[in-house]
């Protein structure tokens, strides 16, 4: 698959594999979690459009507030889970090289994720060698 080298594709492959392991260990299908992962995948792979309409400061502030609230919710979920489960903390730490580039990417980096497969491999390799 051509997308395997993309950071977002690697992240969601990792999440899918982890979810399969959890389902196998618990013998329960995690429908809600699977749905959340799929929704997050769609959100992460969105490329910001180049808006023809200029947003005013109030609209920008509202959007930033909405996004900040989402990030606060995610941060709270991760923090509380890490505090109660050392395995989660270990897993997140050991896989940070996969998920951190995706969640911290700016709009220009996000565009590179969706560019042709060979375009971002050099940058990713250079960043990994730091």
Between CA 18 and CA 89 the distance in angstroms is 14
Q: What pLDDT, on the 0 to 100 scale, is given for residue 1?
A: 39
Torsion sign, CA atoms 67, 73, 77, 83: positive
In the predicted model, is pLDDT for residue 124 greater than 70? no
Domain boundaries, the chain: 2-44+59-115
In the predicted model, is pLDDT for residue 69 greater than 60? yes
Give the DSSP letter of residue 4. G
Between CA 100 and CA 92 the distance in angstroms is 10
Q: What pLDDT, on the 0 to 100 scale, is given for residue 99?
A: 80
Q: Note the pLDDT tens digit of each residue in 93-115.
A: 888 888 888 778 777 777 777 65
* CA 124 vs CA 46, 63, 83, 111: distances in Å: 19, 30, 31, 14
């Amino acid at each position: 698959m051509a997308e395997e080298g993309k950071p977002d594709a690697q992240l969601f492959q990792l999440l899918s594999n982890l979810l399969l392991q959890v389902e196998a260990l618990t013998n329960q299908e995690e429908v809600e979690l699977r749905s959340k992962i799929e929704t997050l995948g769609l959100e992460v792979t969105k490329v910001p459009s180049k808006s023809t309409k200029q947003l005013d400061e109030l609209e920008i502030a509202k959007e930033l507030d909405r996004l900040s609230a989402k990030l606060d919710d995610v941060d709270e979920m991760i923090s509380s889970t890490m505090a109660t489960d050392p395995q989660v903390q270990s897993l997140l730490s050991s896989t940070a090289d996969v998920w951190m580039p995706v969640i911290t990417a700016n709009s220009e980096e996000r565009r590179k994720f969706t560019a042709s497969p060979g375009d971002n491999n050099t940058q990713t390799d250079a960043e990994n060698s730091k």
